[in-house]
Structure 1
């Protein structure tokens, strides 16, 4: 065999065949673009959500470094930073954390750090520069606001802080500043190296548990994979360990858990990979449905053309290449269109999802892998879709190709089997016979239409199951819950971070309240005596084996009991009514002889008591050690100055809604009536204030409290039933919008498939219709026949969708009731029924429109048409 250089000829034939099928090209380009939109949207959502999550977490954590070492000497910083795995590093040392006015509501860290460290902390000056001279300083706008200093480089700043237990006040010159980040938990204040080292000269870091005076080294590696392993390698290569804290060469370290790869190392990678593969496979299948159908129909229409090519010597490989070239040319046009629209749509979905789940910022990333991955999989889908039609065109012999018409392979067999009817041909029988000509094509059209119907019904039914009642029962205990901003946001309350009396008075002065009550609680004022077995069993349920060993080590030799920190509440009657009895008799709490106390257990997502958190049995005694006053000794250690013990009897175990708790875990929890709490604990800080109001005044109260917390007492905040309802509605709408957007694209693909099928089916049968008319069939009968054909496609899709939609409802959606506490299953195919008239109208109307455009030509002209 001779090799002939015919690539140019094949490409020319492919191009001319391509330009001759304009209608096919437009539909195919639209189909490829829609498929690419799906791929690009998927990649954009996954990558952008991951990037957004990382950025938000990094800002909350306080930096973007991969990890680092803490509590170092400067010599260790120099030693560790020279390791070849380290690609970039920054270091810093903390001098103090001022906690007096005006910094009682804001955590501020005074440090010296390198320029790189400042960038890693997202705290590098955007105006001005980092401190260089001894008395220069740089800070964010939040600290400037607290100090009442204007945003201007060169301003004099007087900064009070405590160092070695002594009050220090110093004056600095502002060298730079930057906009404060609302997500950040702390503000950095940068000082010069000369100033900090002078202050730390001779200072012993152990006095403050190494918080001040030790160095931190923040590291960037080549990538974020295996961060902990890389830190371990650096430590070991320099003669240190990060595994055993009891050794002299132990180094404390940290891994930035903002990076997704740190979660992959914990086993999440497989789940993410499976989800991504499932999404890609689904989109490839959806795209294949229409692109294969387009090329399949095109090959059938051009079968005579391919037969003529084979008569002049064109090989099977060349015919496949012609079809493949056409797919590539269509992809060159369709894929870029899909990339642009998909990227915009994907980022829109990300913004909707992030804003529905939180009030955090969305970070848009222009990641090249979005476009590379989308282009590759879109092109792969096109090539897969072109494969079978190419084989079909290559296999047919020249004689069969010249005589080919759609479905003729089986028509003779059917004609032999068919018997003559008594009443002649029926229109609906002819329509069904036409639909059955190509069962593969019919199946693809029905499947593509069914897919969009089932997907839409599933999303609609899923969101319909979101139960507002379950949400409110779980998260809302009253119309309003008042508290400090720190209580709701950061859980960094001190004893002074309660609800201000002025806030409560202003709210009550409106006269809208029907029920109200206080929840008292204060941090670190109480300990209770437990046995070693009680503590070990309690901590083992949530702490792990290492923590259990630590608990055991705290018991002195021979001792079986010790005091352990607890959370203790004081409850007014109204919040006490919101608790659920697990066991015991809560009425005994008011018995002065009993001196009763309530043991609190948490509730799971389904309202069941978390009995594993029970540490004492009802009827047992509990001794609580209250700390009345604390002071610092000569070594700067905190010691008790005054305290007292009270013995109680546990009269009941009750569940407390999380919304009215400290919203933290780890310590045993107990509760007393308010009068007992105030008497025994000696602390009157109101952690939260709950109230119900007149339903007709909800709008007025919402406006008042919102305005008050924004403009008057900015360190106060609140939660409301209305706010939770709005948040839940946003969450529900997010699923509808995002899922609905994807469904719309898939529905368009399904409708396109149907449109393409009907147009090509009618156009390729123009001569056949003309023959039928020539032997007496009327135009009205022909129009009725094609309308019945279209109705068969959409009707079959609706019936199949009802069956599959019901199966998905029962098998898949019903299982969510046990997985999602806020979900309440309800069987529904309402969405399919609602769309039925639209699909029926489409099935009847589209064929009628196509037929009308066909019959504009005369019967003689259509009789002369050759396929």
Structure 2
């Protein structure tokens, strides 16, 4: 090593060490330190893996949920196409399809509907498509090929199941269809099959182009296409039409609803991800920093000796950081892969708690992998910087005589028992280095706080509120046609079911809701079936829709159905309603079962004039009631409050609806639920009815609660492992570093049993502090953040709880005692003389 001298003020010359640039030597020394700290390395690598798992899992869930929502939005829309141009001649359709702005385009042609009795629960269209259209409308064949011959058809697996035919290519069956208003039957051959969706409400049976040409007079096509970007779709489509010689305003075209409603992450989602990243970074930093800080303290004499032979602070800092980077290289790949898998698992839970079905397995983009790796790198880099700086800043003399400073005041304690003195010593040892103690307490507390918060949220979920919205009775039977494009007159419960259920044993409180549907695709101004309020309390109703909407929906409720409504104002007397001209005004209840008082327009006692079917009738409002949406229609027309007549009066006006209610509501007598469920479920499969049961609503609620609990537990488990690893590292390094101290204690009379008790007390003391910190912060979060979050769920009622925090804290105390006991057995052994010889 080169040396030089400098002139001091008193004329003497002093030698000084020049910086040593022997990087190869520092790298070798760094590698040797790694080999000498195998236990530390294992814990550090595991901590890096867990930190990477968390970063990667958050990134995977973020990307996967966005992709899943967007893809399933398209799936609900029925196709991946961005735009479609309708009612085109074949030559024009070909022009659109071949436009260079489209990266993919396809043609289709719908000529009629399928009329097979087995398919009454779905709307099935007869359609010809080219291969591109089939692929982009989720009709990728799993067997066979698209129809080519006139007698060939292709359909999905659900259609095959409903028809009750074999799923083998070549199967023959009778197809009943309606084309141009004429119904016909033909024997067709199954030539292709694609995977259908369970509970689908609309589907297609594909035919050959020759079949369409021969049987339909309608020769119009639809051309659909995909651009390379989803922005400004309307402008892009208009340009395509102009380029093809068409006028946009005179050409029927539309944009796929799935793309209209696709959104990038909103501010709330980005904020949640940002908070998650900060939380993970903090947890990872706490353990990795603590691991290297303790390691530096343990090896502080080595760093002091290096400084005496010329190592610069920068070189020592580099040496510590290099160890961290090598451990990062070992842990990062495993963490990324495991995080990807955990992220997909959490994504399933996240999607189950939403209105979307189970997502596909997500393979994140390279950017996501890189982002997770960068965040982990930053965490490790920051975590190693401060310990490296500490190692480089200590002077050689301080390093060679280093002992952890005791920052507590020494008090003489007399008359204490041995156990009391040992407990006091344990607390004093924690007080030696408050920074180290605080890091351990914080890293473990995060897991407790997270778990308590998640469990607190799920415990706020109110089953009664959830079930009350979705199921107002054990069974609520309605037509499945409400969820598909069928005529409103078809949206009723079949007469056969109504007749059968009246005779079924075990049925109680059977009630019916009637409605006279209007087909709104016709000119409503000329429809005498429209219900209108012409006057209120003798004053003519305003014709200005901004002031008052005179149009109303009219329902008929029998007495049992009326009992399931919530009275807001007045008193409901069904017998009196039937004797006089009384009506109820009904507004729909919110998800929480609340009535919109601001939207209320009528009060009990009001006199109203109703135009029903062209005849004006005078009524008195008996009461204002709140109706669950499950007892009305799936859409709202006209003003907020609908009109309810007693069923007998309603059926006098509309006798044709007597056998066709829109809702059939009933409960099951004890021990009859299973048999009634079996009957209703069997009937619903092929008869176009939809069933909501209280049991299903309860199961949906349990699924949502379990989803939140499972997601929270997985994250809390990972954070908990990180915290416990931190504690284990502290206990283990403490046992190694303090072997001489323990030997001295034994030499002055402390027994092996007392020493073990001291060691266990120290470990338990950490967890007692964790219990206090975690429980207090959990309680504070519960009355602030959790209360606010719970209020955002319509089916929640806030409840304060810290029981999960206390329960987990007790488990952590036990873990700490066990870890301390095991570490003591491994490291604090041997005789006093041997341990004293390990001083240097």
For Structure 1 versus Structure 2, the TM-score category normalised by the shorter chain is 0.7 to 0.9
The one of 317, 320, 329 equivalent to 1:320 is: 317
Match of 2:364?
367
1:185-196 superposed matches below 5 A: 185-196=201-212
User: Which digits, 9 at most, give the CA deviation of each residue in 1:206-230, with x for residues without a partner?
Assistant: xxxxxxx65433332335xxx2414
Paired position in structure 2 for 1:255 = 256
Cα deviation 1:685-724 (Å, max 9, x = unaligned): 12221112333444454455445545xx553442222222
Task: Indicate the SS of the match to 1:478.
Answer: coil
Are the counterparts in 1 of residues 533 and 611 from structure 2 also a CA contact under 8 Å? no
Residue pair 1:479, 1:693 contacting (<8 A) in 2 also: yes
1:343 aligns with 2:336: no
* Structure 1 gap ranges (5+): 204-212, 541-560, 627-643
Q: Which residue of 2 aligns with 1:448?
A: 443
Q: SS at the partner of 1:218?
A: strand
Compared CA separation, residues 835 and 29, structure 1 to 2 (3 A): same
Change over 3 Å in CA distance of 1:109–1:228 after alignment to 2: farther
1:783 paired residue among 743, 747, 756: 756
700 and 94 in structure 1: CA distance in 2 versus 1, 3 angstrom threshold? closer
2:80 to 51, 57, 64: 64
Q: Secondary structure at the match of 1:52?
A: helix
Number of the residue aligned with 2:631: 660
Shift of 1:317: 3.1
TM-score, length-normalised on structure 2?
0.86
Residue 639 (structure 1) aligns with: none
- Trace 1:438-517 onto structure 2 (pairs within 5 A): 438-486=433-481, 494-504=488-498, 506-517=500-511
In the aligned structure 1, how far is the partner of 2:460 from the partner of 2:576? Answer: 43
In 2, Cα distance between the equivalents of 1:759 and 1:259? 58
- Output the aligned Cα RMSD: 3.6
Cα 1:720–1:134, aligned 2, differ >3 Å: closer, same or farther?
closer
User: Distance between the aligned counterparts of 2:148 and 2:220, measured in 1?
Assistant: 21
Partners of 2:83 and 2:237 within 8 A in 1: no
For 1:234 and 1:216, locate their aligned partners in 2 and report how far apart those are by CA, in whole Å: 14
**Take 1:600 and 1:283, find their aligned partners in 2: how far apart are those partners?**
50
Query: How much has 1:802 moved relative to structure 2?
Result: 2.2
2:347 is equivalent to residue 377 of structure 1: no
Aligned to 1:281: 278
CA gap of 1:471–1:367, structure 2 versus 1, over 3 A, is: same
Deviation, structure 1 residue 176:
2.5
Q: What is the aligned partner in structure 1 of residue 227 from structure 2? A: 221
- Per the TM alignment, residue 825 of structure 1 is displaced from its structure 2 partner at its CA by 1.8
What is the distance in 2 between the residues matched to 1:506 and 1:45?
A: 48
CA apart distance, 1:68: 4.0
CA apart distance, 1:815: 2.7
Q: How far did residue 7 of structure 1 move?
A: 4.5
- Which residue does 1:742 correspond to in 2? 715
Q: CA deviation at 1:861?
A: 1.4
Q: Deviations over 1:755-808 (max 9, x none)?
A: 111111121011122123223333333333333322321111111222212111
User: 1:520-546 CA deviation, whole Å, 9 max, x = no partner?
Assistant: 224217312357945623799xxxxxx
Aligned counterpart for 1:310 among listed residues 277, 299, 307: 307
Q: Deviations over 1:448-480 (max 9, x none)?
A: 122222222222222222222222333332222
Q: Which one of 685, 690, 693 corresponds to residue 720 of structure 1?
A: 693
Aligned runs of 1:585-734 on 2, under 5 Å? Answer: 586-587=572-573, 590=576, 594-611=580-597, 619-626=606-613, 645=615, 647-649=617-619, 651=621, 652-668=623-639, 669-682=642-655, 683-684=657-658, 685-706=660-681, 709=684, 715-734=688-707
Taking the aligned partners of 2:609 and 2:263, their CA distance within structure 1 comes to 41
Change (3 A) 1:347 1:493: farther
Distance 1:829 1:538 in 2: 51
Q: Distance in 1 between matches of 2:134 and 2:618?
A: 52
**For residues 138 and 343 of structure 2, what CA distance do their matches in structure 1 show?**
27
C-alpha separation in 1, matches of 2:459 and 2:784 = 17
* Deviation for aligned residue 1:5: 7.5
User: Which residue of structure 2 aligns with residue 766 of structure 1?
Assistant: 739
- Equivalent residue, structure 2, for 1:432: 427
Q: How far off its partner does 1:359 sit? A: 9.1
Distance 2:185 2:126 in 1: 13
Write the distance in 2 (CA, Å) between the matches of 1:733 and 1:839: 24
- Aligned CA distance change for structure 1 residues 144 and 427 (closer, same or farther; 3 Å): closer
Q: Distance in 1 between matches of 2:694 and 2:172?
A: 47
Q: Report the CA distance between 1:442 and its aligned residue.
A: 0.8
State which drifts further: 804-813 or 597-606. Answer: 597-606
Alignment of 1:42-441 (within 5 A): 42-72=58-88, 77-78=93-94, 80-81=96-97, 85-98=101-114, 101=117, 103-133=119-149, 136-144=152-160, 150-154=166-170, 159-167=175-183, 174-182=190-198, 184-196=200-212, 203=218, 214-223=220-229, 227-236=230-239, 239=242, 248-249=249-250, 252-257=253-258, 262-264=262-264, 269-355=266-352, 360-369=357-366, 370-405=368-403, 407-408=404-405, 411=406, 418=410, 426-441=421-436
Q: CA deviation at 1:237?
A: 6.8
Q: For 1:168 and 1:697, how far apart are their aligned partners in 2? A: 44
Q: Residue 303 and residue 66 in structure 1: after superposition, are their counterparts in 2 closer, same or farther (change >3 A)? A: farther
8 Å contact kept, 1:153–1:175: yes
Q: Cα distance, 1:347 vs. partner?
A: 2.8
Distance 1:253 1:234, change over 3 A: same
Please say if residues 115 and 176 of structure 2, whose CA atoms lie closer than 8 Å, have aligned partners that are also in contact: no
Q: Which residue number in structure 1 is paired with residue 800 of structure 2? A: 827
SS of the aligned residue for 2:108 comes to strand
Deviation per CA, 1:551-599: give whole Å up to 9, x if none: xxxxxxxxxx8xx5x5322211011111123345644884568533333
CA drift of 1:258 comes to 6.2
Are residues 805 and 145 of structure 1, via their aligned partners in 2, closer, same or farther at CA, if it must alter by over 3 Å? closer
Aligned twin of 1:838: 811
Does the C-alpha gap of structure 1 residues 767 and 233 become closer, same or farther in structure 2, counting only changes over 3 Å?
same
Deviates more, 1:489-498 or 1:441-450: 489-498
3-state SS of 2:224 partner: strand
Deviation of 1:730 after TM superposition, in Å, equals 1.9
Shift of 1:71: 4.8
Q: 1:447 Cα shift?
A: 0.9
Which residue of structure 2 aligns with residue 632 of structure 1? none
Go from structure 1 to structure 2 and tell me whether the alpha carbon gap of 1:168 and 1:597 turns closer, same or farther (over 3 Å shift): same
Asked if 1:865 is matched to 2:838, the reply is yes
Q: Is the 8 A contact 1:28 1:330 kept in 2?
A: yes
Q: What's the CA shift for 1:863?
A: 0.8
Task: Quote the offset at 1:445 in angstroms.
Answer: 0.5
Instruction: Indicate if the aligned counterparts of 1:129 and 1:176 stay in contact, CA closer than 8 A.
Output: yes
Distance 1:764 1:232 in 2: 72
Q: Could you report, residue by residue, the CA deviation over 1:324-371 in whole angstroms, capped at 9, with x for unpaired residues?
A: 222222222222333333333333333345456579444212224454
Structure 2 SS opposite 1:670:
strand
CA distance 1:259–1:859, shift in 2 (3 Å): farther
1:577 is aligned to 2:563:
yes
Quick check: 1:292–1:385 contact (8 Å CA) kept in 2? yes
